[in-house]
Structure 1
């Protein structure tokens, strides 16, 4: 497909190659024909749910339909993308004892590097993280072969966290199939860590994979089953367990919102909010960043997923993101809010939110497909594009 074109053009192109009418696509993707027409004509932004539904109908991956990974336009991008091949090699060798001798430090020292990798992940410092994470994974792979008993379990737990960090690099650069492989590797390592909550963090990621393929019913059923394993312990006020409980409810809320079930989405959001209030502060157990701030951020995103821009804008006005919030979460909030403003009908504020996201998390904003989609729709709706809009589009590497 032509990556210089917007999503609407690619949907129309693939639909025509299939020999389908717009009505046929709408029927197969379980969306309205008016939405198909609006997206193809660039009059409305495509939601993540719309993209997943169309990709499933076409028999494509979401990345293929979005045109990811995007072309590299400068040396910095080439350098950053270079980490992908090293990550791929390490994921392929995950259960093979290193052929060459690898110096393995004490796990306490390695854990400091893993913690730094997770901080880089939250800061969306993709270049630094991509440069460091393959070596960390290689050392931990060697550690699981040289450790025994509880030390080996700890090594597996650290390896699982490293896989999650690597997954964010490849996912944000548009290698979604490789990101799916990191989820499998995370599950494999977590299952050997002796940590029940680490296993549930893998289930959280697995549910995200189901949602990404528009299998919302399976995601909801799976999440319900996995939450039941800790339900009896929720009353004990164990903070890490409560963080996991609340995070799994947020993921269920997303599945429900993508399925168009507002009532169910609000129910799960309410459960998550109640749990966050019980904890009383933001935490980062298993790198899920659960707490009052994240629940507020999710509340805006869920309204956007339900195509209710007015509610998204309203919710965003009820809270302020703390200065110390992870840049990944804060940047994602403004990307979602931009989509909310666009649906609400305020293009200027939609662009303003994108500029805020750029200041907070530039790499995440530059490569986010929903940012590209939002910019193109703003440009289509504007009678004459402004210098600010043209500059932002050029920075993203797209022609608005």
Structure 2
């Protein structure tokens, strides 16, 4: 089981640290973290991403990583798949045209319409990476051409659109086999946002970069970035609430989930309350067209925060009151089922875990296929779910590519 893996890895790290005569504070500091962070790993309350495991192995003078992770943790638990369209997206990102284009530049309205259509596809297609992977190369070229050829205010608007195109690219690239490309598009988005001189574009770029920083186990830096971005928007909310409020609320959701993953429940709830108050100011049924902020997303984060801080029962109670069909995005709906499966796994309920993962697959096969949490849960069911769910677990593992068909 995934939790058993975390406890076993934590015990091995603690034992190796003790053998080396190193204090928890010294090891944590060498990793750029706090002693409390290392304690949460050693007692099995926090899973450890592969890059941080490698850093711990280096600090603890471990030559063979299996000494820390054990035989029961397999390479596939850390592997990330690559989509069939990844190569064409990579080539488009690496094109770097050096000559000046002579064709008619795209209008801003055309880029906006294409981008809006792409976001709709992302949220409505059960195979969103397949659909977006085909659109992204052309859409990136259009946005780049618009930013190159327009002048004055139109150029700033074009840069804001370009930043948003890269946000879509980051959503496509997330959890795939080339994390360096995710950083590349995030840096390009931030550069375009800065060129736009648009606080909303800057806040959106900060939101996406914060997710990457958090994934690198740098929660404090991620928290600082999103709170600074929120403060950037706050003085202008009354002047343009329809445009700025959704992103302002979404930044606080990001802060809340980041705090929850650090087991800082008080801060998580304080930030969440800020986001919930913003959602109540929006029209009933509102969902932002690309990042999705609205009451449904707030309800999802409420459940995710409970799962993160170990309140699986409360998460289940809230989930029972939430109609999944009220979630306007099939991608987010699929992620919702994964979060509920995670809660069921924490309770040791293998049947519910398998059933919820199947619901995630049926909602959006590609969301489950590329979800590290979903893949880990499936792997745990295959290894330790028992005979009752073995057939279902093997089918899911085959569907997402963990084992060969």
Give TM class, smaller chain.
Answer: 0.7 to 0.9
CA 222–173 in structure 1, closer or farther in 2 if over 3 Å, else same: closer
- Is this contact kept in 1: 2:256–2:269, CA < 8 A? yes
Superposition deviation, residue 65 in structure 1? 9.6
Structure 2 matches for 1:180-191, cutoff 5 A? 180-191=183-194
**Does 2:350 align with 1:347?**
yes
**Does 2:126 align with 1:126?**
no
**Does 2:241 align with 1:238?**
yes
Superposition deviation, residue 300 in structure 1? 1.4
- Is this contact kept in 1: 2:253–2:272, CA < 8 A? yes
SS of the counterpart of 1:317? helix
CA 129–261 in structure 1, closer or farther in 2 if over 3 Å, else same: same
- Is this contact kept in 1: 2:344–2:350, CA < 8 A? yes
What does residue 63 of structure 2 align with? none
Alignment partners' CA distance in 2, 1:304 and 1:101? 54
- Is this contact kept in 1: 2:107–2:146, CA < 8 A? no
- Which of 232, 254, 268 is the aligned partner of 1:265? 268
What does residue 88 of structure 2 align with? 83
TM-score, with length taken from structure 1: 0.81
SS of the counterpart of 2:85? helix
Alignment partners' CA distance in 1, 2:138 and 2:314? 45
What does residue 42 of structure 1 align with? none
Alignment partners' CA distance in 2, 1:223 and 1:324? 24
What does residue 277 of structure 2 align with? 274
Q: Render the CA deviation track for 1:119-140: whole Å, top value 9, x for unaligned.
A: 2232451112111111111122
Q: Which moved more, 1:183-192 or 1:29-38?
A: 29-38
Structure 2 matches for 1:40-55, cutoff 5 A? 47=47, 54=53
Q: Which moved more, 1:328-337 or 1:225-234?
A: 225-234
- Is this contact kept in 1: 2:381–2:390, CA < 8 A? no
What does residue 396 of structure 2 align with? 392
Alignment partners' CA distance in 1, 2:89 and 2:204? 24
Alignment partners' CA distance in 2, 1:378 and 1:316? 22
What does residue 108 of structure 2 align with? 107
What does residue 43 of structure 1 align with? none
Alignment partners' CA distance in 2, 1:152 and 1:232? 25
Alignment partners' CA distance in 2, 1:54 and 1:21? 17
Structure 2 matches for 1:325-344, cutoff 5 A? 325-344=328-347
SS of the counterpart of 2:174? helix
State the number of aligned residues: 373
Structure 2 matches for 1:1-400, cutoff 5 A? 8=5, 28=28, 30=36, 47=47, 54=53, 57=56, 67-70=78-81, 79-90=84-95, 93=96, 97-98=98-99, 101-123=102-124, 125-234=128-237, 238-285=241-288, 287-323=290-326, 325-384=328-387, 385-399=389-403
Q: Which moved more, 1:214-223 or 1:193-202?
A: 214-223
Superposition deviation, residue 59 in structure 1? 7.3
Q: Which moved more, 1:98-107 or 1:196-205?
A: 98-107
CA 289–365 in structure 1, closer or farther in 2 if over 3 Å, else same: same
CA 7–182 in structure 1, closer or farther in 2 if over 3 Å, else same: farther
CA 112–379 in structure 1, closer or farther in 2 if over 3 Å, else same: same
Q: Render the CA deviation track for 1:190-243: whole Å, top value 9, x for unaligned.
A: 122242111111111122222112222222233322222233344568133221
- Is this contact kept in 2: 1:171–1:179, CA < 8 A? yes
Q: Render the CA deviation track for 1:244-293: whole Å, top value 9, x for unaligned.
A: 22111111112211211011101111111111112143545472211110
TM-score, with length taken from structure 2: 0.80
Alignment partners' CA distance in 2, 1:150 and 1:360? 41
Contiguous gaps of at least 5 residues in structure 1:
40-45
Q: Render the CA deviation track for 1:293-333: whole Å, top value 9, x for unaligned.
A: 00011111122222332222122122213456111211111
Superposition deviation, residue 145 in structure 1? 2.0
Superposition deviation, residue 341 in structure 1? 1.1
Alignment partners' CA distance in 2, 1:239 and 1:104? 30
